[in-house]
Structures are given as structure tokens and as C-alpha cells.
């Protein structure tokens, strides 16, 4: 039977309460893109996805500004669809974390829009796809949606031992933007490299 807190000596009660309060206050919110986020050499962290997405979006929008990614619809933004992005690392990677960040930023820019009804494999929004097909059958749309560009790529890793106790992990994000003729109009690579003590590296 566990003793009640009230049955303990006063000084011991204070020590126990201090310990409880101290343990309860260790958690705190941090900026997901700030310097206080956790860093694991053995996995891709949220800040890695954010940095890669920011780099890719800025490069794509720069191409748009230069007129190198025109739209097939005069006066309207180009449409981009998501093709296959392959995980070639030794760990489970939620590729949607990268793709969604890219899509959100492009859509917010208003200069390139993304579709949820046209994708490699399973579409993101089956109901929207069904509605689109029904409208096409009724002749209420111009025809099947054809994206101006498709986004494809892969994520790779390179694990190396720097010393007996230190391991280095590099994660390589590679993306390509391809037009309707199969020409890659934009390709880029973003690499994040981290080091950690062997005991702190997990995979």
C-alpha cells in the first residue's frame, strides 16, 4: 500500500511536490523552424522537410517569374500534379510532409496551383475526382484535366562513421519538374547533413 503524501514529513512533502512540478513543466512549445527543435542524426526531422520545401518553392517561383514555367491557360496559373516521389533511404519517411509543404506554399503564392484529382497512383481527393468525372459526363467541363507540369523525385541517405563514437548522416532531396512533352524544365537537389554520437543515433 502506497503511503499518502500527507503522512510524509513536511520537508519530504516539499521535495516530492517540487519534483512533481519540475517534471510536469519540462515540456514546452518551440518554433518548428527555430534553433530549439530536436535534431536526430538518424532520421529526417520536421525542420529538414521545411528547409527543403522552402528551397524548392523559391527556385520554382523564380522560374515562374522568369517566364520559364508558362501556363497552358492564358491569364491563369499553371497546374502542377504530383507524380512519384520515391523513398530510397533506410528508414520510413513520410514523403507527404515534404510534398504538402511544397503544395501549400505554391498554392498560397497563386502563381502555380496543384491538383488533388490527378496524381501518380491513388489521388488525394477521390470525391473531388468523382465529381469531376460526373461533370465531364454531363458536358459541363471542357474535358479531362491535364496538368502543365508534374513533380517527381526521390529522397536518399548516406550514412558514414566519422569516428568510433560519431556518425554522420546526409539526406538528399532530389526533385524534377517535367512538362507535357517530357522535358525536365527544372531540377534541384537539397542536402542536409547531421552528426551525432553513436548512442544518440537511431534507425
Residue 129 and residue 142: Cα distance in Å, rounded?
A: 15
**Mutual angle of helices 95-109 and 46-65, in 10-degree steps:** 40
Each residue's pLDDT tens digit, 20-73: 555 555 766 666 666 556 677 778 999 999 999 999 999 999 999 999 999 999
Each residue's pLDDT tens digit, 135-183: 988 888 877 789 999 999 999 999 887 677 788 889 999 999 999 999 9
CA-based R_g, the chain, Å: 24
Domain edges within the chain: 11-200
- pTM across the whole model: 0.77
H or E stretch covering 171: strand 166-179
Exposure class string for 162-197: b at 16+ Cβ within 10 A, else e: eeeeebbbebbbbbbbbbeeeeebbebebebebebe
Q: Give the contacts of 149 (CB within 8 A, at least 6 positions apart).
A: 69, 78, 79, 80, 81, 112, 177, 178, 179, 185
Residue 4 predicted with pLDDT over 60: no
Average pLDDT in the 104-119 region?
95
DSSP 24: H
Amino acid at each position: 500500500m502506497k503511503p499518502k503524501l500527507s503522512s510524509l514529513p513536511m520537508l519530504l512533502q516539499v521535495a516530492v511536490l517540487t519534483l512533481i512540478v519540475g517534471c510536469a513543466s519540462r515540456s514546452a512549445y518551440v518554433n518548428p523552424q527555430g534553433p530549439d527543435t530536436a535534431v536526430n542524426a538518424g532520421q529526417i526531422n520536421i525542420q529538414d522537410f521545411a528547409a527543403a520545401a522552402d528551397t524548392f518553392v523559391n527556385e520554382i517561383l523564380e522560374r515562374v517569374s522568369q517566364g520559364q514555367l508558362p501556363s497552358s491557360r492564358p491569364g491563369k496559373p499553371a497546374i502542377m500534379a504530383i507524380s512519384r516521389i520515391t523513398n530510397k533511404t533506410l528508414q520510413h519517411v513520410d514523403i507527404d510532409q515534404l510534398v504538402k509543404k511544397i503544395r501549400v506554399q505554391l498554392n498560397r503564392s497563386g502563381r502555380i496551383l496543384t491538383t488533388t484529382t490527378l496524381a501518380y497512383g491513388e489521388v488525394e481527393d477521390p470525391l473531388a475526382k468523382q465529381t469531376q468525372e460526373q461533370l465531364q459526363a454531363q458536358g459541363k467541363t471542357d474535358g479531362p484535366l491535364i496538368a502543365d507540369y508534374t513533380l517527381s523525385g526521390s529522397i536518399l541517405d548516406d550514412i558514414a562513421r566519422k569516428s568510433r563514437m560519431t556518425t554522420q548522416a546526409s539526406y538528399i532531396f532530389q526533385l524534377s519538374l517535367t512538362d507535357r512533352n517530357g522535358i525536365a524544365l527544372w531540377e534541384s537537389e537539397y542536402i542536409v547533413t547531421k552528426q551525432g554520437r553513436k548512442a544518440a543515433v537511431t534507425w
